Chains A and B, each alone.
Chain A
Amino acid sequence: MAKVIVVTSGKGGVGKTTSTAALGAALAQRGEKTVVVDFDVGLRNLDLVMGAERRVVYDLINVVQGDAKLPQALIRDKRLETLHLLPASQTRDKDNLTAEGVEAVIEELRKSFDWIICDSPAGIERGATLAMRHADVAVVVTNPEVSSVRDSDRIIGLLDAKTKKAENGERMDKHLLLTRYDPSRAERGDMLKVEDVLEILSIPLLGIIPESMDVLRASNLGAPVTLNDASCAPALAYRDAARRLAGEQVAMTIPGGRRGLMNKLFGRRAA
C-alpha cells in the first residue's frame, strides 16, 4: 500500500531537500516504486539535487491546474528506474497550490507508487501546510541546535493539528531525522546532544546523519548522496533510516561515533 511521507522542519537550510532525495533514492534502491515531490513552489531545488534540472517540462503546478497530465510531469531518474521526480514550478508561487488540486495529485500518485515523499518548503505557511496535509508519516529534519529544535517542535504541533489525519482524529506517525550531527562537537558541548534533542521533541528517532563533505559534494554533482557514493557515512546513515521507514529493525548508530554506547543509548528508542 502506498505511503505518503512529508519531509519537513520549519526552519530552512537544515537538509529537507537533501534528505528527501537521499531517502527517496534509498527506498527506490530497495526496488520499491518511489516518487519525490517538490512542494517548494517558486524556490525549487529538488530537481538540482536529483540532477534533473534540464529535464523539467511540466511541473506540479501544471498538474494541479490541469494544464498537464501527471505522467507528462513525472521525470524518471536516469540511474534508478524505480525513482521518479515531480518537480515544482520556479516561475509561480505557493498561492498557485490549491488544497483540492494537491489532494487530487496525491491520490493519483498513490495508485502507482509505493512511496510518495513530499519535500516541504521551509516555514509554516500555505506551502508547508499543503505538503503535510495528506501525509501518513512525517520525517522531521532537525539540526542539533536550539533554533532548529524549536522550529521542529512548532512543526510537530502543526502536524498534530492541521493534517488530514489529525482532523480525522488519527495520530500522525512522526520521526526525527537528526542531520549535520558532529559527535566530537556534541561531546565538547558546542552542539546539542542527541539525547537533549530527543528529550525536547519526544518523538522517535529515525536516524542520525553525520556532518560530512560528502553531502555537499553529492548535491553539487546532482546526485542523491545515497546514489553518489553508497559507502560514505551519510549514505549509510540514510540507507539505515530508509530501512527503518520501511519497518525494518535496524540498530541505531552514529557512523564515526562510538557504536556500542550509541546502541545502548538509542537502540530501544529507535523507530
Chain B
Amino acid sequence: MTKTLTDTRPIRLKGRSFLAIVLSPELPFHNWLERLDDLAARSTGFFLGRPIVLDVEGLDITQADLKDLLGELGERGVRVMGIEGARGSLIGANMPPLMKGGRPAGDIEPESDPVAEPAAKGKPAEQAAKPEPAIEVHSPRVTSSIVITEPVRSGQSIIFPEGDVTILGSVASGAEIVAGGSIHVYGTLRGRALAGSIGNASARIFCRKLEAELLAIDGLYKMPDDMDPKHRGQAVTVWLEGDTIKAETLA
C-alpha cells in the first residue's frame, strides 16, 4: 500500500548538545544510594527534572542489578536519560539508551544489537539519519560562538556552554549570559555575566559600559559592591588571575 504525502516538507533533523549531569554510582549500591539520599536531603530538588546520565563504566554488575538501580533512582525522582559506559548486553528493553561520547550509540556498533531496540523505538528513520552530524557538534575541539543582535531583556537568559557569546546591544538588569568561553557586550552590561562556565579560567568578560549585577569567571564571582567603583560605567575587561577576578578599563 502506498501513502501519498500531502505535505512534502522534509523532517528537520538537527544535532544539538546539551549539558547533562553524569552520575557515577559505586558498588555496593545500597551504600552509594545512602550517600545520594544524604546529598538530596541537603539540596532538595537538585535532581528534580534534570537530565541525568548514569555512568556505569567499570562496574561489575548484571542487567538485574542495573534494573534495580534504575528503579531506586526512579523512586528518588532522578530521571535517567541515558547510560554511559555499559556493555550492550547490560541494557534491557525499556531502559534508557546507551550513550557514548554524548551521543546515542544505538546503531553505530552492530554487536550491541539489543541496545538499538530501545533507542530506536518508534523513530527508526531519525536514528538512522542522526549520528553523523552529531559527531561534529559534540566534539570538544570545535570552538564555536554565537552573536546576539538584539538587546537581551530582563528575564531572558542566553546559555551557551560551547563557546563565546557576543551581544550587539545591552544586557538588561535581571538578564543573564552564561558562556563556556568569553562574553562580549557591545552595550551596557546591567545583568549577570558568567563566563568560562564549564571550567575555563582563561575566559574573559568585555563590555562597553559596566553596570553588572554579577560577574563570574570559571565559577568565581564578584558582586557590584566588591567591584572597584572607578570601573562603574566604564568600558571594562574582566579576567581571572589565580583566584581573584581582575578588571581593567579599556582604552
Given contacts A160-B150, A202-B151, contact A150 B156 (CB under 8 A): no
Judge whether A150 and B169 touch: CB under 8 Å.
no
Task: Give per-residue flags for A61-72: 1 if the beta carbon is below 8 A from chain B beta carbons, else 0.
Answer: 000000000000
- Among all A-B residue pairs, the 5 with the closest Cβ atoms: A157-B153, A153-B154, A154-B154, A154-B155, A153-B172
A33 smallest CB distance to B (angstroms) = 34
Q: Is B249 an interface residue (CB 8 A)?
A: no
Of all chain A residues, the one with the shortest Cβ separation from B174 is: A150
Q: Is A156 an interface residue (CB 8 A)?
A: yes
Q: Is B145 an interface residue (CB 8 A)?
A: no
A150-B172, A156-B153, A158-B155 given; name 7 further pairs at CB < 8 Å.
A151-B154, A153-B173, A154-B153, A154-B155, A157-B155, A160-B153, A200-B170
In A132-156, the 8 Å CB interface with B consists of 146, 150-151, 153-154, 156
Name B's A-contacting residues (CB within 8 A): 150-151, 153-156, 169-170, 172-174, 188, 190
Judge whether B154 and A150 touch: CB under 8 Å.
yes
Judge whether B150 and A200 touch: CB under 8 Å.
no
Contacts of A151 in B (CB 8 A): 154
In A44-65, the 8 Å CB interface with B consists of none
Contacts of A199 in B (CB 8 A): 170, 188
Interface size class of A (residues with CB under 8 A): 10 to 19
B181 smallest CB distance to A (angstroms) = 24
Judge whether B169 and A157 touch: CB under 8 Å.
no
Contacts of A156 in B (CB 8 A): 153
How far is it, in angstroms, between the C-alpha of A150 and the C-alpha of B151 when the chains are bound?
13
Pull 16 A–B residue pairs with CB atoms less than 8 Å apart, ordered by A: A146-B173, A150-B154, A150-B173, A151-B154, A153-B173, A154-B153, A154-B154, A154-B155, A156-B153, A157-B154, A158-B155, A160-B150, A160-B153, A199-B170, A200-B172, A202-B170
B152 smallest CB distance to A (angstroms) = 8
Of all chain B residues, the one with the shortest Cβ separation from A202 is: B151
How far is it, in angstroms, between the C-alpha of A160 and the C-alpha of B150 when the chains are bound?
10
B53 smallest CB distance to A (angstroms) = 30
Judge whether B174 and A154 touch: CB under 8 Å.
yes
**In this complex, which of A157, A158, A160 has the most chain B Cβ atoms within 10 angstroms of its Cβ?**
A157
How far is it, in angstroms, between the C-alpha of A166 and the C-alpha of B169 when the chains are bound?
19
How far is it, in angstroms, between the C-alpha of A139 and the C-alpha of B153 when the chains are bound?
17
Given contacts A153-B174, A154-B174, A160-B150, contact A202 B156 (CB under 8 A): no
How far is it, in angstroms, between the C-alpha of A157 and the C-alpha of B151 when the chains are bound?
9
B189 smallest CB distance to A (angstroms) = 12
Contacts of A124 in B (CB 8 A): 155
Contacts of B150 in A (CB 8 A): 160
How far is it, in angstroms, between the C-alpha of A163 and the C-alpha of B230 when the chains are bound?
42
Contacts of B155 in A (CB 8 A): 124, 153-154, 157-158
How far is it, in angstroms, between the C-alpha of A157 and the C-alpha of B154 when the chains are bound?
7
A42 smallest CB distance to B (angstroms) = 24
Of all chain B residues, the one with the shortest Cβ separation from A153 is: B154
How far is it, in angstroms, between the C-alpha of A160 and the C-alpha of B169 when the chains are bound?
15
Of all chain A residues, the one with the shortest Cβ separation from B156 is: A157
A137 smallest CB distance to B (angstroms) = 18
How far is it, in angstroms, between the C-alpha of A33 and the C-alpha of B150 when the chains are bound?
35
How far is it, in angstroms, between the C-alpha of A154 and the C-alpha of B174 when the chains are bound?
8
How far is it, in angstroms, between the C-alpha of A150 and the C-alpha of B171 when the chains are bound?
11
Judge whether A202 and B174 touch: CB under 8 Å.
no
How far is it, in angstroms, between the C-alpha of A160 and the C-alpha of B172 when the chains are bound?
15
A11 smallest CB distance to B (angstroms) = 12
**In this complex, which of A151, A154, A158, A160 has the most chain B Cβ atoms within 10 angstroms of its Cβ?**
A154
B190 smallest CB distance to A (angstroms) = 8
Of all chain B residues, the one with the shortest Cβ separation from A157 is: B153
Contacts of A154 in B (CB 8 A): 153-155, 174
How far is it, in angstroms, between the C-alpha of A86 and the C-alpha of B190 when the chains are bound?
40
A2 smallest CB distance to B (angstroms) = 28
Judge whether B169 and A202 touch: CB under 8 Å.
yes
B186 smallest CB distance to A (angstroms) = 13
A18 smallest CB distance to B (angstroms) = 24
Of all chain A residues, the one with the shortest Cβ separation from B211 is: A200
Contacts of B173 in A (CB 8 A): 146, 150, 153
B170 smallest CB distance to A (angstroms) = 7
B43 smallest CB distance to A (angstroms) = 28
Of all chain B residues, the one with the shortest Cβ separation from A161 is: B156
Contacts of A157 in B (CB 8 A): 153-156
**In this complex, which of B150, B153, B169, B173 has the most chain A Cβ atoms within 10 angstroms of its Cβ?**
B153
